[in-house]
Amino acid sequence: MNNHLFKPIALAVTLALAAGSAFAADDNFNMSELSENISPCNDFNGYVNAKWVAANPIPADQTRWGAFNVLAEKSRSEQHQILEDAAKNAAHAKPGSIEQKLGWYYASGMDEAAVNKAGFDPIKPKLAQIDALKNGSDVVNFLDASFNEGQPYVFTFGSGADFKDATNQIGFAFQDGLGLPTRDYYFDPKYKDLRDAYVAYIAKTLQLAGVDATDAKKQADQVMAFETQLAKASLSPTELRDLDNEYHFVSVADADKVTPHFSWEKFFATSGVNVGKGFSLSQPKFFAEMDNLIATAPVSQWQAYLRFHTIDNASPVLSDAFQTNHFDFHKKTLGGQPQQEPRWKRVLAEVNEGMGMALGELYVAKYFPASSKARAEQLVANIRESLRNRIENLDWMSPETKAKAIEKWKLFLPKIGYPDPGEWRDWNGLTIVPDNYFANASAAAKYNYHYDIGHIGKKTDRKEWGMTPQTVNAYYDPSTNTINFPAAILQPPFFYANGDDALNYGGIGAVIGHESSHGFDDQGSQFDGYGNRENWWTKQDETQFKARTGKLVQQFNDYSPIPGKPNLHVNGQLTLGENIADLGGLNIAYDALQTALKQNPKEADEKIDGMDEDQRFFLNWARVWRGDSREKTAELMLNVDPHSPAKIRAIAAPSNMPQFAQAFQCKPGDKMVRSGDKQVKIW
């Protein structure tokens, strides 16, 4: 876990831009995919994507399928080949090299016979420790020791930039500990069936580890009651987007007053970390309830809770029986996924969890040429210049606030592809063995936990990456004011080396704009260019901004994206940051396209497959978001995902742009035309 409060704000992308208009249209946009019987002015997503979605059903081992997933599969296939080669050559690789460690890690996971033979033997020592607990003090000692091993329970702890001085890294303790997706799943009547399924899953999980059926049912009820108490004190995903709920700096002594039965001083000493003047006890109400449970819950209830989560957390690296059971609830019951992924994909996911940045080093060397990085850097520069122009020309913002916004803009740090030379992680302290999958996963978890908390008390490194190069995604980090574009996203369908400007700006350019706009969304706008939480707005401008973003909240609240379930709507407040970034990013990219076309008037004047550049710009934006989700996954994502559903993202931002209506000759009253008070303009 690293920088847990600012998990990468995702689904935005970037790649390079080709100059000129020499391209093969059939290689980069198949116009036959358009549905001519659907009006682009009424259902732009259907017009662009309906045929593709119908022809590309969700694979049985997936819960969603679309442009991002296709590219992610390509990346996984490439990583698979790297790990297969590393496994074959591990015995002859340089001792202690990342090639040898990755090869052994992967090979140990692929040795299905050995993993099955071990059963749940690897966690028996941990289960014995839980069995030996006698009182609340024993529980606290167990929690302390477990965190030191990289095995958190109940809450999470890691490093992050101080909200008040982003140049320094401090500790953050954050609520966690629930087995169901959010607190609502414990109380809302509509989730009763899922609660029942969860209790049954807990009981089955315990039985797999040798607990008899009657006792397993009793313990499952205890776990559910325990988590329900935690859920009462937990904040919802929407509430957690409130920055006041993400940072609450306290001294160690004051933290101990919140949790008198849990000593933070001892916790930090056990993990060997010095938090200095204090740390962020981010949700005090939650930690007060944790302390109450330490003081009042029977030790047998703590044992049931810790026992189940020990088994559940370890299941992905235990025998097939545990892996299948884990899949049946977490993926099939919650997400509707019919079929488990093949073993190599599951092992690859574990290797990425444990040594993802090391794998990225090999991935970049094989699949990402330096020329791609150079072209991407130029495109990012073009998009950033467009953002500057839009800020300077806003008609609703005062000169005082504009000056502050430009100051922040100047301090943006773009990071493209992968870490700079000398910035890659050092893996010398991690011991990986050739024949013990569980031991390797455990060693990596401990190593990564201590790597993370080792940042506490040190200066923030803006050049450090929070996402691996092989990840198909991108992110903005407000604590460092950086926009980050991993290598794996820098390729088609987001960028075409021989494609026209419109495709590239409508695809990769728009999502570079998206990440840049995150610096000025409802959260990012509360941080200055140095990463400090600071209000740099005049009161009048802040009121204007909130009024405009409030209209965007309402726009998304009105969307009901799941067919047959009209009462389920997008949560406009939960998704506000991403929706601001989509709207800003698309406008920024459109302006950048117009600048590019002025420099290349020949391309501006020509049509490709009957479509002009403005039309192709919007076509590729929608195509980036093509895809479909299983119904259970779609409903789950509405509750937990800060991103709106892809098919909504395809239409929402364009509907606010007069340029879209002009490009497709749409008229007032068409569904894709928002005008008057309903039209949202922010950045």
* CATH code at position 302: 1.10.1380.10
Percent of all residues in the chain with a pLDDT value above 90, rounded to a whole number: 89
Do 36 and 134 belong together in one domain?
Answer: no
Pull the structure tokens for residue 631. Answer: 């119904």
Question: Is residue 546 in a domain?
Answer: yes
Q: Tell whether 504 and 626 lie within a shared domain.
A: yes
**358-408 pLDDT, tens digit each:** 999 999 999 988 777 777 888 888 999 999 999 999 999 999 999 999 999
What are φ and ψ of residue 44, in 5° steps?
-65, -35
Cβ atoms of residues 513 and 15 within 8 Å: no
Residues 37 and 174 grouped into a single domain? no
Q: How would you write 389-402 as a 3-class SS string?
A: HHHHCCCCCCHHHH
Instruction: Indicate whether 514 belongs to any domain.
Output: yes
Would 581 be classed as within a structural domain? yes
Is pTM beyond 0.75 here?
A: yes
pLDDT at residue number 119: 98
Shared domain for 167 and 302, answered yes or no, is yes
Give the pLDDT of residue 7. Answer: 35
pLDDT, position 612: 94
Q: Is residue 446 part of a domain?
A: no
Last residue of a domain, one of 291, 317, 343: 317
% the chain with pLDDT above 70: 96
Order of strands, sheet of 155-161, starting from the edge strand that comes earlier in the sequence: 155-161, 169-175, 279-281, 249-250
395 and 529, same domain (yes or no): yes
pLDDT in tens, 252-293: 999 999 999 999 999 999 999 999 999 999 999 999 999 999
Cβ(171)–Cβ(453) below 8 Å: yes
Are 58 and 630 in contact, with CB atoms under 8 Å apart?
yes
130 assigned to some structural domain: yes
Q: What's residue 405's pLDDT?
A: 98
Determine, yes or no, domain membership for 101: no
Phi, psi for residue 556 in degrees, rounded to 5: -80, -30
HSE-up (13 A, CA, CB side) for residue 631: 6
Residue 607: CATH number of its domain: 3.40.390.10
Same-domain check for residues 144 and 213: yes
Check whether residue 307 and residue 378 sit in a common domain: no
Q: Is residue 165 in some structural domain?
A: yes
Q: How many structural domains compose the chain?
A: 2
Q: Are residues 626 and 565 in the same domain?
A: yes
Residue 3 host element (H or E): none
Domain span holding position 303: 120-317
Looking at the domain assignment, is residue 68 inside a domain? Answer: no
Same domain, 228 and 297: yes
Reference 383, options 271, 294, 511; nearest CA is 511
Alpha-carbon span 357 to 427, nearest angstrom = 10
The mean pLDDT of 18-32, rounded to a whole number, is: 50
H or E stretch covering 249: strand 249-250
